[in-house]
Amino acid sequence: MKITIFGSGYVGLVTGACLADAGNHVVCVDIDAGKIERLNAGEVPIHEPGLDAVIKRNAEAGRLRFTTDAAAGVAHGLFQLIAVGTPPDEDGSADLRYVLAVARTIGAHMSEYKLVITKSTVPVGTADKVRGTVAEALAARGVAVEYDTVSNPEFLKEGAALADFMKPDRVIVGTDSTRASDWMRTLYDPFTRNRDRMIVMDIRSAELTKYAANAMLATKISFMNELANLAEEFGADIESVRVGIGSDPRIGYSFIYPGVGYGGSCFPKDVQALARSATEVGYDAVILKAVETVNARQKQVLFAKIQKHFGVLHGKTIAVWGLSFKPNTDDMRAAPSRVLLEALWAEGAFVRAYDPVAMPETRRIYGDRPDLTLCNSSAQALTGADALAIVTEWQEFRSPDFDGLRASLRQPVIFDGRNLYDPAQMARAGFSYYAIGRGQRNK
């Protein structure tokens, strides 16, 4: 089948690569000429495990192409997938300008039946706007061409995106057309072979399903962070509490890890956008607002512990392990590390930072500055630092050489934003160890 994907970011590239891998002919369109140039030169602009190989083999097989030529993209695919960004506007609502620009482009160039499919995360009611925008563009040309609009929100996780796309838990399809749902079934059949995972519903419900999923996961995180802060006050250990409640199948173990708050390109903006959409329909989304408030507060917790320990931070050097918002990605959008770095700098502290893959992204965001040293290894980051702060739970940080660590640091102090180590063991090894929600030892 012929497929066109607008937007070659995390979602567009993974979708394009996986659909091509199933034997389809995919054209990826992006307005970022530099990105397309890199892709055509065989370079993958994002870090996503396994993606390079899938792109390479499908590009070489001629099934996956990259272009800035939107008209050629519209001409190519029966399926026109919109996977462009929906960043937060100033008021927190989702900025739809990129999505609607693609809809306009499709309407401006299409000459035969198309499925216009929104994969981007968009507020309820956006499909109507997409449909209207395509119709306007067609009317402006004075032509009548049939098309169906579909909401097909994406649920992949950065860091495990390929597996998520290839073996989805579910495929949500929102449409009012059986012709469209039949085509969508054909598109996703190769990925849902062992049982049907496609859930077809009306468009508005599909749009809301995506926000509901992210808001629920963000709620679990903020809930657990709130409990972690309470555990510190009560002298309880949140890790015991986590195991204690996770064993209840109604609660489960996933997404109940306390930490330094959620970041990334999705949860923060999606919770905000849903709360904003609620305001627009006159509803006060109390839980969503609280989830956001708790998260913003949690992003400050590690810094507060560091400041409390040292009193004055001016001139101190803090080693920071982990910069990406979670492991296995280089994505630093809304990453908790950024809040920590910026708070440390505001107090006149120096940072020696290390991340297995997000160093180029850190350099892109912060450039060269005297209070930031980007180090080549986790060990190098420790040299001469007054303390270590762990922000992202990369695998390689889970079992470090504690003797080497103690020898490199000026003082044996660790601020662990991910609860990677055992507080009792750390105390025995002579560390001042501050974790999240781990009882009186934290105080």
Nearest approach in angstroms of CB 372 to ligand NAD is 24
Q: How far apart are CA 221 and CA 235, in angstroms?
A: 21
Report the residue from 26, 256, 266, 409 that binds ligand NAD according to the rule CB under 6 A: 266
Structure tokens at 397: 């940080």
Q: How far apart are CA 89 and CA 275, in angstroms?
A: 13
Q: Among residue numbers 98 through 137, which ones bind ligand NAD (CB under 6 A)?
A: 98, 101-102, 120-121
In DSSP terms, which residues pair with 172 in a beta bridge? Answer: 199
Angle among Cα 411, 413, 414 to the nearest 5 degrees reads 145
Q: CB nearer to ligand NAD: give 17 or 435.
A: 17
Report the residue from 16, 77, 85, 356 that binds ligand NAD according to the rule CB under 6 A: 85
Q: CB nearer to ligand NAD: give 6 or 303.
A: 6
Site string for ligand NAD, 362-401 (x = CB under 6 A): ----------------------------------------
Nearest approach in angstroms of CB 420 to ligand NAD is 24
Q: For residue 375, indicate whether it is catalytic.
A: no
Q: Contacts with ligand NAD: how many residues (CB under 6 A)?
A: 26
Report the residue from 4, 10, 350, 389 that binds ligand NAD according to the rule CB under 6 A: 10
- 340 lines the binding site for ligand NAD (CB under 6 A): no
Q: CB nearer to ligand NAD: give 29 or 51.
A: 29
Q: Which position's Cβ is nearest ligand NAD?
A: 9
Inter-axis angle of helices 267-280 and 203-234, nearest 10: 120
In the set 18, 28, 266, 375, the catalytic residue is 266
Q: How far apart are CA 331 and CA 158, in angstroms?
A: 8
Q: What letters, b where the CB count within 10 A reaches 16 and e where it falls short, cover 74-92?
A: bebbebbbbbbbbebeeeb
Q: Write down the residue that tokens 């040299």 correspond to.
A: 383
Q: CB nearer to ligand NAD: give 96 or 115.
A: 96
Q: How far apart are CA 436 and CA 433, in angstroms?
A: 10
Nearest approach in angstroms of CB 303 to ligand NAD is 26
Structure tokens at 401: 């050489």
Pairing between strand 64-67 and 25-29? Answer: parallel
Cβ(159)–Cβ(49) below 8 Å: yes
Cβ(93)–Cβ(18) below 8 Å: no
Q: CB nearer to ligand NAD: give 10 or 79.
A: 10
Cβ(130)–Cβ(100) below 8 Å: yes
Cβ(303)–Cβ(339) below 8 Å: yes
Pairing between strand 198-201 and 413-416? Answer: unpaired
Q: CB nearer to ligand NAD: give 18 or 349.
A: 18
Nearest approach in angstroms of CB 69 to ligand NAD is 11
Cβ(227)–Cβ(241) below 8 Å: yes
Q: Among residue numbers 44 through 83, which ones bind ligand NAD (CB under 6 A)?
A: 83
- 263 lines the binding site for ligand NAD (CB under 6 A): no
Binding region for ligand NAD (CB under 6 A) out of 29-37, 195-203, 300-308, 378-386 = 29-37
Residue 38: its H or E element: helix 33-40
Nearest approach in angstroms of CB 277 to ligand NAD is 14
Q: Among residue numbers 140 through 179, which ones bind ligand NAD (CB under 6 A)?
A: 154, 156, 158
Active site residues: 266
Interface positions with ligand NAD (CB under 6 A): 6-12, 29-32, 35, 83-86, 98, 101-102, 120-121, 154, 156, 158, 265-266
